Structure 1
Amino acid sequence: MNKKIIAMICIAFIAVLGGCSEKPATLGGDFETSAVLGGYSEQSPPLPKVISDETEVPVVQSSYCWGKLGCADYVGGSTLLKKKMLAPTLVNAGADIKISFAYKPAPSKMYVQRFLEDNAIDVPLKDGHFDAPKERGLYYYGISAF
Protein backbone atom coordinates (compact mmCIF):
# COMPACT_ATOMS: atom_id res chain seq x y z
CA MET A 1 0.00 0.00 0.00
CA ASN A 2 1.39 3.37 -0.97
CA LYS A 3 1.54 5.71 2.03
CA LYS A 4 0.27 9.23 1.47
CA ILE A 5 0.73 12.29 3.61
CA ILE A 6 -1.17 15.51 3.52
CA ALA A 7 1.20 18.37 2.89
CA MET A 8 -0.55 21.66 3.37
CA ILE A 9 2.19 23.42 1.56
CA CYS A 10 1.06 26.77 2.98
CA ILE A 11 0.77 27.31 0.24
CA ALA A 12 -0.77 25.15 1.67
CA PHE A 13 2.74 27.00 1.52
CA ILE A 14 2.49 30.54 2.72
CA ALA A 15 4.65 32.32 0.21
CA VAL A 16 6.57 34.97 2.05
CA LEU A 17 8.45 37.08 -0.43
CA GLY A 18 11.12 39.37 0.85
CA GLY A 19 12.12 40.73 -2.52
CA CYS A 20 12.88 44.21 -1.27
CA SER A 21 14.58 45.31 -4.43
CA GLU A 22 14.65 48.81 -5.77
CA LYS A 23 13.23 47.77 -9.12
CA PRO A 24 10.70 45.06 -9.92
CA ALA A 25 11.99 41.80 -11.34
CA THR A 26 10.85 40.96 -14.83
CA LEU A 27 10.65 37.82 -16.89
CA GLY A 28 13.21 38.70 -19.49
CA GLY A 29 11.27 41.67 -20.76
CA ASP A 30 9.33 44.76 -19.93
CA PHE A 31 7.03 45.23 -16.93
CA GLU A 32 3.87 44.65 -18.97
CA THR A 33 5.12 41.24 -20.13
CA SER A 34 6.02 40.17 -16.62
CA ALA A 35 2.61 41.30 -15.41
CA VAL A 36 1.09 38.27 -17.16
CA LEU A 37 3.78 35.69 -16.49
CA GLY A 38 4.94 33.98 -13.33
CA GLY A 39 2.09 35.18 -11.11
CA TYR A 40 3.51 38.71 -11.14
CA SER A 41 1.41 41.80 -11.62
CA GLU A 42 1.47 45.46 -10.74
CA GLN A 43 -0.73 44.60 -7.74
CA SER A 44 1.18 41.62 -6.33
CA PRO A 45 4.64 40.07 -6.27
CA PRO A 46 5.41 36.83 -8.15
CA LEU A 47 4.36 33.58 -6.50
CA PRO A 48 6.49 30.46 -6.51
CA LYS A 49 5.48 27.34 -8.40
CA VAL A 50 5.51 24.30 -6.12
CA ILE A 51 5.42 20.81 -7.64
CA SER A 52 5.47 17.33 -6.08
CA ASP A 53 5.73 14.51 -8.58
CA GLU A 54 3.46 15.94 -11.30
CA THR A 55 1.07 17.68 -8.92
CA GLU A 56 1.13 21.46 -8.64
CA VAL A 57 0.61 22.56 -5.04
CA PRO A 58 -1.50 25.72 -4.61
CA VAL A 59 0.26 28.75 -3.14
CA VAL A 60 -1.22 31.59 -1.07
CA GLN A 61 0.35 35.06 -0.94
CA SER A 62 1.40 36.12 2.55
CA SER A 63 3.35 39.08 3.94
CA TYR A 64 5.83 40.70 1.58
CA CYS A 65 8.01 43.68 0.75
CA TRP A 66 8.40 44.09 -3.01
CA GLY A 67 9.88 47.02 -4.92
CA LYS A 68 7.33 49.70 -5.83
CA LEU A 69 4.53 47.69 -4.19
CA GLY A 70 5.99 48.36 -0.76
CA CYS A 71 5.15 46.03 2.10
CA ALA A 72 1.98 44.18 3.08
CA ASP A 73 1.37 42.21 6.25
CA TYR A 74 -1.05 39.27 6.31
CA VAL A 75 -2.20 36.92 9.04
CA GLY A 76 -0.18 33.74 8.65
CA GLY A 77 -0.25 29.99 9.08
CA SER A 78 -3.40 27.95 9.30
CA THR A 79 -5.50 31.09 9.90
CA LEU A 80 -4.65 32.39 6.42
CA LEU A 81 -5.34 29.01 4.83
CA LYS A 82 -8.68 28.62 6.57
CA LYS A 83 -9.69 32.11 5.42
CA LYS A 84 -8.74 31.21 1.81
CA MET A 85 -10.51 27.83 2.19
CA LEU A 86 -7.55 26.09 0.57
CA ALA A 87 -7.79 22.30 0.62
CA PRO A 88 -4.69 20.31 1.58
CA THR A 89 -2.68 18.73 -1.22
CA LEU A 90 -1.86 15.02 -0.94
CA VAL A 91 1.75 14.08 -1.66
CA ASN A 92 3.62 10.81 -1.26
CA ALA A 93 5.59 10.33 1.94
CA GLY A 94 9.19 11.42 1.34
CA ALA A 95 8.31 12.84 -2.10
CA ASP A 96 10.53 15.43 -3.75
CA ILE A 97 8.99 18.91 -3.64
CA LYS A 98 10.35 21.53 -6.03
CA ILE A 99 10.00 25.30 -5.66
CA SER A 100 10.69 27.61 -8.59
CA PHE A 101 9.94 31.13 -9.77
CA ALA A 102 9.09 31.97 -13.39
CA TYR A 103 10.65 35.44 -13.32
CA LYS A 104 14.16 36.74 -13.84
CA PRO A 105 16.31 37.33 -11.99
CA ALA A 106 15.48 34.38 -9.76
CA PRO A 107 15.79 34.91 -6.00
CA SER A 108 19.37 34.59 -4.77
CA LYS A 109 18.21 33.15 -1.43
CA MET A 110 15.27 30.97 -0.58
CA TYR A 111 14.24 29.50 2.78
CA VAL A 112 11.54 27.01 3.70
CA GLN A 113 10.04 26.54 7.14
CA ARG A 114 7.52 24.00 8.39
CA PHE A 115 5.05 25.36 10.94
CA LEU A 116 3.69 23.36 13.84
CA GLU A 117 1.51 25.31 16.27
CA ASP A 118 3.66 28.33 17.25
CA ASN A 119 6.98 26.78 16.20
CA ALA A 120 8.84 27.13 12.92
CA ILE A 121 11.32 24.46 11.86
CA ASP A 122 13.85 25.17 9.09
CA VAL A 123 13.60 22.70 6.23
CA PRO A 124 16.82 21.86 4.33
CA LEU A 125 16.57 23.08 0.75
CA LYS A 126 18.91 21.93 -2.01
CA ASP A 127 18.70 23.53 -5.46
CA GLY A 128 15.06 24.49 -4.84
CA HIS A 129 14.08 20.98 -3.68
CA PHE A 130 13.18 19.40 -0.35
CA ASP A 131 11.65 16.12 0.76
CA ALA A 132 8.14 15.76 2.18
CA PRO A 133 8.08 14.20 5.66
CA LYS A 134 7.87 10.42 5.85
CA GLU A 135 5.33 10.62 8.67
CA ARG A 136 1.65 10.97 7.84
CA GLY A 137 0.16 14.31 8.86
CA LEU A 138 -1.00 17.79 7.95
CA TYR A 139 1.97 20.09 7.30
CA TYR A 140 2.09 23.86 6.78
CA TYR A 141 5.07 25.43 5.05
CA GLY A 142 6.32 28.95 4.41
CA ILE A 143 8.66 30.08 1.65
CA SER A 144 10.83 33.16 1.96
CA ALA A 145 12.64 34.34 -1.15
CA PHE A 146 15.09 37.24 -1.43
Structure 2
Amino acid sequence: MKKRSVFIVVGILIIAIVIVKPFRLEPPTPKISVGERGIPTTQGSYCWDAMLLAQCVDTIHTSPIDMTESHAPSIVSKNDEIEIEFPIGYQPENLRLEQWLDEHNSKMVEVNNKRIKVPNESGVYVYHVIADWNQGDGNYAFLIEVE
Protein backbone atom coordinates (compact mmCIF):
# COMPACT_ATOMS: atom_id res chain seq x y z
CA MET A 1 0.00 0.00 0.00
CA LYS A 2 2.84 2.39 0.89
CA LYS A 3 4.59 1.60 -2.37
CA ARG A 4 1.47 2.46 -4.34
CA SER A 5 1.10 5.81 -2.54
CA VAL A 6 4.72 6.68 -3.34
CA PHE A 7 4.16 5.87 -7.02
CA ILE A 8 1.02 8.04 -7.09
CA VAL A 9 2.81 11.00 -5.47
CA VAL A 10 5.80 10.64 -7.82
CA GLY A 11 3.43 10.38 -10.80
CA ILE A 12 1.58 13.54 -9.78
CA LEU A 13 4.90 15.41 -9.34
CA ILE A 14 6.11 14.30 -12.76
CA ILE A 15 2.84 15.41 -14.38
CA ALA A 16 3.00 18.77 -12.56
CA ILE A 17 6.59 19.35 -13.72
CA VAL A 18 5.72 18.43 -17.31
CA ILE A 19 2.71 20.78 -17.36
CA VAL A 20 4.02 23.69 -15.25
CA LYS A 21 7.71 23.40 -16.21
CA PRO A 22 9.11 25.38 -13.27
CA PHE A 23 12.64 24.94 -14.60
CA ARG A 24 11.93 26.59 -17.99
CA LEU A 25 14.79 29.01 -18.72
CA GLU A 26 13.07 31.12 -21.37
CA PRO A 27 9.54 32.22 -22.24
CA PRO A 28 7.42 29.83 -24.29
CA THR A 29 7.31 30.32 -28.05
CA PRO A 30 3.84 30.82 -29.48
CA LYS A 31 2.49 28.65 -32.25
CA ILE A 32 1.53 31.04 -35.05
CA SER A 33 -0.65 29.45 -37.71
CA VAL A 34 -3.15 29.91 -40.50
CA GLY A 35 -5.43 26.88 -40.46
CA GLU A 36 -3.13 23.87 -40.19
CA ARG A 37 -0.08 25.69 -41.61
CA GLY A 38 2.49 26.96 -39.14
CA ILE A 39 4.21 30.31 -39.61
CA PRO A 40 7.89 30.46 -38.56
CA THR A 41 8.70 32.87 -35.74
CA THR A 42 11.90 34.42 -34.47
CA GLN A 43 12.36 34.98 -30.76
CA GLY A 44 13.72 38.35 -29.72
CA SER A 45 15.20 39.55 -26.44
CA TYR A 46 13.59 38.35 -23.22
CA CYS A 47 13.79 38.20 -19.45
CA TRP A 48 12.66 35.10 -17.57
CA ASP A 49 12.64 34.17 -13.89
CA ALA A 50 12.78 30.38 -13.51
CA MET A 51 12.75 28.50 -10.22
CA LEU A 52 16.53 28.22 -10.03
CA LEU A 53 17.76 30.91 -12.43
CA ALA A 54 16.71 34.34 -13.65
CA GLN A 55 18.16 35.74 -16.84
CA CYS A 56 17.77 38.42 -19.47
CA VAL A 57 18.94 37.65 -22.99
CA ASP A 58 19.49 40.32 -25.62
CA THR A 59 19.39 39.24 -29.25
CA ILE A 60 21.27 40.98 -32.05
CA HIS A 61 18.10 42.11 -33.84
CA THR A 62 17.57 45.83 -34.27
CA SER A 63 13.84 45.64 -35.11
CA PRO A 64 11.07 43.12 -35.80
CA ILE A 65 11.77 43.61 -39.52
CA ASP A 66 15.37 42.56 -38.89
CA MET A 67 14.11 39.58 -36.85
CA THR A 68 12.23 38.17 -39.85
CA GLU A 69 15.00 38.49 -42.44
CA SER A 70 15.93 34.82 -42.19
CA HIS A 71 12.37 33.71 -43.07
CA ALA A 72 10.58 33.61 -46.39
CA PRO A 73 7.10 35.12 -45.99
CA SER A 74 4.30 32.63 -45.32
CA ILE A 75 1.68 32.96 -48.05
CA VAL A 76 -1.84 33.73 -46.79
CA SER A 77 -5.12 34.79 -48.38
CA LYS A 78 -7.06 37.99 -47.74
CA ASN A 79 -9.85 36.14 -45.89
CA ASP A 80 -7.55 34.16 -43.58
CA GLU A 81 -7.22 34.49 -39.82
CA ILE A 82 -3.91 34.07 -38.02
CA GLU A 83 -3.98 32.26 -34.69
CA ILE A 84 -1.50 33.03 -31.91
CA GLU A 85 -1.45 30.22 -29.38
CA PHE A 86 0.85 29.69 -26.40
CA PRO A 87 1.39 26.30 -24.72
CA ILE A 88 -1.11 25.16 -22.08
CA GLY A 89 -0.32 26.81 -18.76
CA TYR A 90 1.54 29.72 -20.36
CA GLN A 91 -1.17 32.11 -21.50
CA PRO A 92 0.37 35.58 -21.17
CA GLU A 93 -1.17 38.06 -18.77
CA ASN A 94 -0.70 40.75 -21.39
CA LEU A 95 -0.44 40.20 -25.16
CA ARG A 96 0.22 42.97 -27.67
CA LEU A 97 0.64 42.76 -31.42
CA GLU A 98 2.24 45.32 -33.70
CA GLN A 99 2.27 45.46 -37.48
CA TRP A 100 5.53 47.04 -38.64
CA LEU A 101 5.16 49.36 -41.61
CA ASP A 102 8.89 50.15 -41.95
CA GLU A 103 12.00 50.19 -39.73
CA HIS A 104 10.67 53.09 -37.62
CA ASN A 105 6.87 52.89 -37.79
CA SER A 106 4.40 50.39 -36.43
CA LYS A 107 0.75 50.24 -35.47
CA MET A 108 -1.09 48.18 -32.88
CA VAL A 109 -3.28 45.33 -34.13
CA GLU A 110 -6.26 44.09 -32.15
CA VAL A 111 -6.14 40.43 -31.12
CA ASN A 112 -9.58 38.84 -30.69
CA ASN A 113 -9.76 35.39 -29.10
CA LYS A 114 -6.10 34.69 -29.98
CA ARG A 115 -6.77 35.57 -33.64
CA ILE A 116 -6.11 38.44 -36.02
CA LYS A 117 -7.55 39.18 -39.44
CA VAL A 118 -5.16 39.19 -42.38
CA PRO A 119 -4.94 42.61 -44.12
CA ASN A 120 -7.22 43.12 -47.13
CA GLU A 121 -4.42 44.47 -49.31
CA SER A 122 -1.81 42.31 -51.01
CA GLY A 123 1.73 42.73 -49.75
CA VAL A 124 4.34 41.59 -47.26
CA TYR A 125 3.64 42.25 -43.56
CA VAL A 126 5.84 41.96 -40.45
CA TYR A 127 4.17 41.30 -37.09
CA HIS A 128 5.70 41.67 -33.64
CA VAL A 129 4.18 39.70 -30.72
CA ILE A 130 4.94 41.05 -27.23
CA ALA A 131 3.92 38.88 -24.26
CA ASP A 132 4.19 39.40 -20.50
CA TRP A 133 3.95 36.80 -17.73
CA ASN A 134 4.61 36.85 -13.98
CA GLN A 135 7.92 35.12 -14.76
CA GLY A 136 9.04 37.69 -17.36
CA ASP A 137 8.48 38.76 -20.93
CA GLY A 138 9.25 37.76 -24.48
CA ASN A 139 8.80 38.99 -28.01
CA TYR A 140 8.57 37.25 -31.36
CA ALA A 141 8.31 38.29 -34.98
CA PHE A 142 6.76 36.64 -38.03
CA LEU A 143 6.34 37.48 -41.70
CA ILE A 144 3.39 36.95 -44.05
CA GLU A 145 2.60 37.72 -47.65
CA VAL A 146 -1.01 38.40 -48.54
CA GLU A 147 -1.94 37.31 -52.07
Q: TM-score range by the shorter chain?
A: 0.5 to 0.7
Spell out, residue by residue over 1:28-72, the C-alpha distance to the aligned partner (whole angstroms, 9 max, x if none). Answer: 72169849xxxx953x32100011122111111012111134222
Change (3 A) 1:111 1:105: same
Q: Does 1:142 align with 2:124?
A: no
Specify which structure has the bigger relative contact order, considering alpha-carbon pairs within 8 angstroms and separated by 6 or more residues. Answer: 1
Q: CA 1:33–1:86 in 2, change beyond 3 Å: closer, same or farther?
A: same
Alignment match, 1:122: 108
Whether 2:74 is the aligned partner of 1:102: answer no
Q: How many residues align?
A: 112
Over the matched positions of the two proteins, sequence identity in percent amounts to: 26
Deviation at 1:100, TM superposition (A): 0.8
What value does the CA root-mean-square deviation take over the aligned residues? Answer: 2.4
Larger Rg: 2
Cα 1:41/1:105, change in 2 over 3 Å:
closer
Q: 1:131 aligns with which of 106, 111, 117?
A: 117
Residue identity opposite 1:66 in structure 2: W
Q: Which moved more, 1:63-72 or 1:118-127?
A: 63-72
Deviations for 1:82-123, whole angstroms, at most 9, x for unmatched residues?
2xx211100111311110111414112211100011111000
Higher helix share: 2
Q: Is the 8 A contact 2:20 2:89 kept in 1?
A: no
For the Cα contact (< 8 Å) 2:32–2:84, is it kept in 1? yes
Unaligned runs of 5+ in 1: 1-27
TM-score, with length taken from structure 1: 0.67
